[in-house]
Amino acid sequence: MNKLLAGVLGLLLCATLLLGQGAALGTISGRLAPAPFEADGAGRLRFALDLPPAGSALYLVRPAAAVGLPQSPPTRFTVLATGDWKITAGAPNVLVLDYGDLLVAGRRYHDVNTAKANWTIWQADGLDRPAWDHAVQFQTRVFDRNRFLPSSGFEAAFRFEASTEDALRGLELAVEAPERYRVLVNDHEVSFSAASSWLDPHLRIVPIEKWARTGLNRITVQARPFDVRMELESIYLRGNFSVVPGEKGFRLAAAKPLEIGSWSAQGYPFYGDSVLYRMEVEVPVDSDRMRVELTHWEGSLAEVLLDDAPAALLAWPPYWAEFSVRPGRHAVSVRVVSTARNLFGPFHNRAMPRMRGWIADWDDFPEQQPPGAGYDVIGYGLMAPPKISVGRGGNP
């Protein structure tokens, strides 16, 4: 134990030990609440502690003579009947293009993964391997070799299919370091001079709706001459569309409303942002507390909001939040945040790694593009509707 203030002690608990008389402090909310203790007759207090995985408890321990917080009986909650949740994606949808055709050193390669294509480009220009892949530069050794013929370089062609014009409205293209290449959409050159950044300062995004069309589309990335600062990466489409699995990869279709369930199974397999679930409820006049419980969900973080104001953050068990509420009509929202896993992969590693990322995980991929259903993505989202309960008489 460490003395924090005169006559006040604090314990961060990951075990079952406590001395004195005290109160619990919310380690996320910062709120002070009564803690139920029992005297054992020997000048000590006993308490029950139930820590979930990754859980902790923080208590203030006071001298017995100190005035404690008033003890309140536990709140008895009643589940509210709810209707359909209004579900809204927090950002445009994404399609990752990670396979294409390559022309380098007079030779054509069809339907190759961008990782393999990148190695092929470097080796065709006389180097053993990509200088920045699983490697670092010693002094200026790599840049000292940055002298290539004007005829060096490559051309990579990515294709995507759009089934309807609705899928093309507001369509955007994101390319890493586009200033080093000449980029064309259906043979129309695209300028990135006014591009905005997306996720990374070097990942630049521009609208391409006016050049896209229903049916098959072609995006070309040309590089002349080769430069050691070039690395061929996957490119990205963003917009208001649905991503539908096909025999090879995916195609764009008209957007559909999201429902309760996995986003990846509803046309959002590469989505790496958040989704907001919103419901209006009526709180009875005899209630002043609300509990929102997530019974089945996948994500990195869930934010609970009451009338669009933050109420709680949920990142580890137990996945419920309890807070004050006034009687009347209220909007209850849950924002589920995913991760960048479905956006950046790996999509093809046969070990299907979870909760880890090693650079070699991206080296496993089929020689040719697999069906869309064969991509390894994680199903983020609310798999079941949140349970909303109300009650009276609990802790403040």
Of 194, 222, 254, at which residue does a domain stop?
254
Spatial contact of 308 and 331, defined as CB atoms under 8 Å apart:
yes
Which 3 state secondary structure label does DSSP give 315?
A: coil
CATH of the domain at 191: 2.60.120
Which amino acid would we find at residue 230?
A: M
pTM of the model: 0.86
- Average pLDDT on 19-46 reads 69
Say if strands 196-198 and 188-189 run parallel, antiparallel, or are unpaired. unpaired
Say if residue 145 is in the same domain as residue 179.
yes
- Average pLDDT on 2-31 reads 53
Q: How many CB atoms lie within 10 A of CB 20?
A: 19
pLDDT band per the 50, 70, 90 thresholds, residue 49: confident
Q: Residue 119: inside a domain, yes or no? A: yes
Q: Residue 260: inside a domain, yes or no? A: no
Say if residue 383 is in the same domain as residue 279.
yes
Residue-wise pLDDT for 158-208, tens only, equals: 999 999 999 999 999 999 999 999 999 999 999 999 999 999 999 999 999
Of 254, 283, 312, at which residue does a domain stop?
254
Say if residue 113 is in the same domain as residue 147.
yes
Residue 312 has which token pair?
A: 């709680």
Residue-wise pLDDT for 110-162, tens only, equals: 999 999 999 999 999 888 899 888 888 889 988 988 999 999 999 999 999 99
d(CA 121, CA 115): 10
Instruction: Give the residue carrying structure tokens 């950044």.
Output: 197
Say if residue 143 is in the same domain as residue 214.
yes
Say if residue 105 is in the same domain as residue 228.
yes
- Average pLDDT on 303-325 reads 94
Q: What is the pLDDT of residue 125?
A: 87
Q: Residue 356: inside a domain, yes or no? A: no
Of 254, 288, 311, at which residue does a domain stop?
254
Spatial contact of 248 and 159, defined as CB atoms under 8 Å apart:
no
State the Cα torsion 343-346-352-353 to the nearest 10°. -90
Cα→Cα distances 38→19, 24, 44, 46, 71, Å: 11, 15, 8, 5, 12
d(CA 299, CA 313): 12
Say if residue 250 is in the same domain as residue 105.
yes
Say if residue 133 is in the same domain as residue 244.
yes
Say if residue 235 is in the same domain as residue 318.
no
Which structural domain, as residue segments, surrounds residue 29?
Answer: 2-62
Which amino acid would we find at residue 152?
A: S
Say if residue 134 is in the same domain as residue 210.
yes
Q: What is the pLDDT of residue 15?
A: 36
- Average pLDDT on 236-264 reads 97
Q: Residue 37: inside a domain, yes or no? A: yes
Q: Residue 234: inside a domain, yes or no? A: yes
Alpha carbon of residue 187 to chain centroid: 34
Q: What is the pLDDT of residue 213?
A: 97
Cα→Cα distances 186→150, 158, 159, Å: 25, 10, 10
Instruction: Give the residue carrying structure tokens 């009338």.
Output: 307
Residue-wise pLDDT for 75-98, tens only, equals: 789 999 889 999 999 999 999 999
pLDDT band per the 50, 70, 90 thresholds, residue 53: confident
Q: Residue 245: inside a domain, yes or no? A: yes
3-state helix, strand, coil in the chain (%, to 5): 10, 40, 50
Say if residue 56 is in the same domain as residue 143.
no
Q: What is the pLDDT of residue 258?
A: 97
Residue 330 has which token pair?
A: 């209220």
Say if residue 128 is in the same domain as residue 200.
yes
Q: Residue 11: inside a domain, yes or no? A: yes
Of the chain, the percentage scoring pLDDT greater than 90 comes to 69
Of the chain, the percentage scoring pLDDT greater than 70 comes to 88
Query: Among 58-72, 74-88, 176-190, 379-393, whose mean pLDDT is lowest?
Result: 58-72
pLDDT band per the 50, 70, 90 thresholds, residue 395: very low
Q: Residue 71: inside a domain, yes or no? A: no
Q: How many CB atoms lie within 10 A of CB 332?
A: 23
Say if residue 41 is in the same domain as residue 85.
no
Q: How many CB atoms lie within 10 A of CB 263?
A: 28
More confident residue, 24 or 387: 387
pLDDT band per the 50, 70, 90 thresholds, residue 74: low
Q: What is the pLDDT of residue 89?
A: 98
Number of domains in the chain: 3
CATH of the domain at 85: 2.60.120.260
d(CA 90, CA 185): 27
Instruction: Give the residue carrying structure tokens 């996320």.
Output: 28
More confident residue, 191 or 34: 191
